[in-house]
Every structure is written in structure tokens, then in C-alpha cells.
């Protein structure tokens, strides 16, 4: 592989940072991220996407932009979810390489130089940060996450690396390929894997949140997992078919046994408990199958409306055109 080349008429790096209720920690994130990017050198910008935050996140972002000319702010018209917010940020980047990172500092900006080094020296189109440790998370969260990655590896149709989130560096040609995928139901980890291109992992230790609390709960994580599975495989529909065949076969065999025993031994018809059990079981199977079909039908319905992925209430671009070395001396908010 050859080393990546960088155009002179655009920034070398664009950071994309989705934000939802991050007012307590966004200043510290920017201080650390700016310090890291200044050490790397080159021209860079950071695109913050405010995804309908209910706290003072937008005010903090506007204040950051007033102090640092490399900051761009996208304020979405409402909360569209992290996957859509991330897409909005990617749509507004121009860097030769794009770095996706969360604002909660669980993914330390200090890992970025390692991602950049692999991109520059080895020419990979995607360098993803793979978690070696997951500090600040319960054993149940780690266990369910591990189980999800194992399931997706087996049934997802694409090779998704385990213990890997959105934190990564993506080359411009990989970003351009990714932005061609405009589906409404977006599972970004799967889309990152689907586009292919040469990729490499960089191991790191994930830190606890710097401030505030996560907006993810187990119900949201369950729905997120369901989103990922139904986005990349029709296996649930196949399983429903197989389950129907198994239940039908069992019913035929059991019915034959009942007929034979009745003809030979004149056994009475089984009572209501066994009948109710069979009815409830078959009803549960039918409802589960309908639910699976409904998930996919709902996706067809949403895609057929052809609505835009998001609406921007306000876009504040970087204040200066050059995003160059002089910007490294721009005032950054004090600690």
C-alpha cells in the first residue's frame, strides 16, 4: 500500500463530534482535542453537531467557535439520534482524513496521533480504535456488548471488528463512499464495515465519562442491537420460516399420535390445559413472526417516503478560510 497524499486546498484533518447534552464536558474535550491536533501539525477543523441537546451545549459550542476559528457548528432542528448526527457531520467535512470521536472523553483524543500515524505511514483507508479495556462500564454492559459483536460477526454479512465503536480515522475516498449510503435506518458500525477498503485496528484503553451521564439505557441498547441486526441480515425472517416448519411438523406428528392412540386405545380427548398450552404457544410463534415481518415492512415504509435524513436549523462554518498554522495560535478556552 502507498502512503496517502494530502491536497493543499483543504484541511488535512476534519474532526466530527456528535453532541447530545454535553455541556458539562465539551470545553475540556475541545481543549484536549485542540492540543493533540496542534501537536500533529497540518491544517485541521472540527465539526460539532448539536443533536437537539436540551442543556446549554449549543451555547458552549458557539462560545468555542468564537474563540477558535477552526470550529464549525451544526445545530440540527431536533434530536435525530447519534447515527444521523454523525452523518450530518460527515456531510460537512472537507478534510483529506476524517476523525470520528465522541465528546464524552471515553475515547481519549490522545489516541488520535496513533490513528494518524497508521494512515500516513501504512496507507490504510480506515484506522479504527479497538477497545482493550472498557473502564466505567458494568460487567453486564460489557457482556451484552461482547455477545452482540459475536452475533453480528456470525449473521451480519459483513466483518465487523469486535469491541469497536465509532472512534476512527477515515480517508477521504472512504468517506465519499460512505456518504453514498443514504438509508434512513443507519447502523454506522455496520456501514463502516460494509464499504470495505483496507482497514487496521489500533488498541486503546477506554476511559470513564469525563462529566455527566450517558443517555443510553438497556432499552435503547436493545433497540440499537435490533437496528443493527435488521439492517444487515434477513436471518430473522429465515428463522421465522424454519420455526414455522418445525412447529407444523411437530403438530402433524403429534396429531397422528393422538389419532392412532384414540383408534387403538379409545383414549379420551386431552383436556383443556394441554389445548390452551398449544394454542398459546402457536399464538406466540405467530405474533413473533408478525413482529419480525413488521420490522422489515416498517423499514420499507420509511424508505419509501424518501424524507431527508436530517434538517439543519443553523450551520456555522469555520470563521477563517485557511485553517492553517496561524490558527494554532488561536485562543482556546481556559481550563
Predicted confidence (pLDDT) per residue in 130-176, tens digit: 887 766 556 666 666 666 666 666 665 667 777 778 889 999 999 99
Q: What mean pLDDT do residues 184-213 have?
A: 78
Four-way CATH pick for 13-232+309-329: 2.40.50.140, 3.20.20.70, 3.30.70.270, 3.90.550.10: 3.90.550.10
Instruction: Provide the grid cell at 257.
Output: 399420535
18 burial type by CB count under 10 A (0-12 exposed, 13-18 middle, 19+ buried): buried
pLDDT higher than threshold 80 for residue 60? yes
Which pairing describes strands 126-134 and 164-171: parallel, antiparallel, or unpaired?
Answer: antiparallel
Domain boundaries, the chain: 13-232+309-329, 235-304
Query: If you ran DSSP here, which 8-state letter would residue 9 be given?
Result: S
90: left (phi over 0), alpha (psi -120 to 50) or beta: alpha
- Round to whole Å and give the CA distance between 221 and 106: 17
Whole-prediction pTM value? 0.71
C-alpha dihedral (312, 314, 319, 324), degrees to nearest 10 = -20
- Round to whole Å and give the CA distance between 276 and 115: 60
Percent of the chain with pLDDT over 70: 70
Query: If you ran DSSP here, which 8-state letter would residue 3 be given?
Result: P
- Round to whole Å and give the CA distance between 46 and 181: 23
Amino acid at each position: 500500500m502507498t502512503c496517502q497524499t494530502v491536497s493543499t486546498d483543504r484541511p488535512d484533518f476534519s474532526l466530527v463530534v456528535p453532541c447530545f447534552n454535553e455541556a458539562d464536558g465539551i470545553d475540556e474535550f475541545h481543549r484536549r482535542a485542540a492540543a493533540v491536533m496542534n501537536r500533529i501539525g497540518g491544517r485541521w477543523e472540527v465539526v460539532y453537531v448539536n443533536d437537539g441537546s436540551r442543556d446549554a451545549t449549543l451555547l458552549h459550542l458557539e462560545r468555542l467557535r468564537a474563540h477558535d476559528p477552526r470550529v464549525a457548528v451544526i445545530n440540527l432542528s431536533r434530536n435525530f439520534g447519534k447515527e444521523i448526527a454523525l452523518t450530518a457531520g460527515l456531510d460537512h467535512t472537507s478534510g483529506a482524513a476524517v476523525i470520528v470521536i465522541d465528546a464524552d472523553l471515553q475515547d481519549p483524543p490522545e489516541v488520535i496521533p496513533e490513528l494518524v500515524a497508521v494512515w500516513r505511514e501504512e496507507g490504510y483507508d480506515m484506522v479504527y480504535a479497538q477497545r482493550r479495556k472498557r473502564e466505567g462500564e458494568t460487567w453486564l454492559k460489557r457482556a451484552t456488548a461482547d455477545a452482540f459483536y459475536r452475533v453480528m460477526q456470525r449473521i451480519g454479512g459483513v466483518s465487523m471488528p469486535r469491541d469497536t465503536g465509532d472512534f476512527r480515522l477515515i480517508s477521504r475516498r472512504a468517506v465519499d463512499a460512505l456518504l453514498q449510503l443514504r438509508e434512513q435506518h443507519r447502523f454506522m458500525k455496520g456501514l463502516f464495515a460494509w464499504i470495505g477498503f483496507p482497514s487496521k485496528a489500533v488498541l486503546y484503553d477506554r476511559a470513564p465519562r469525563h462529566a455527566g451521564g450517558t443517555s443510553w439505557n438497556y432499552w435503547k441498547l436493545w433497540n440499537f442491537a435490533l437496528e443493527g441486526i435488521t439492517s444487515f441480515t434477513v436471518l430473522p425472517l429465515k428463522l421465522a420460516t424454519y420455526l414455522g416448519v418445525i412447529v407444523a411438523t411437530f403438530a402433524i406428528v403429534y396429531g397422528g399420535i393422538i389419532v392412532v392412540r384414540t383408534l387403538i386405545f379409545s383414549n379420551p380427548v386431552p383436556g383443556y390445559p394441554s389445548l390452551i398450552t398449544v394454542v398459546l404457544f402457536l399464538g406466540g410463534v405467530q405474533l413473533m413472526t408478525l413482529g419480525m415481518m413488521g420490522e422489515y415492512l416498517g423499514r420499507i415504509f420509511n424508505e419509501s417516503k424518501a424524507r431527508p435524513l436530517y434538517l439543519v436549523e443553523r450551520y456555522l462554518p469555520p470563521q477563517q478560510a485557511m485553517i492553517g498554522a496561524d490558527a494554532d495560535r488561536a485562543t482556546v478556552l481556559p481550563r
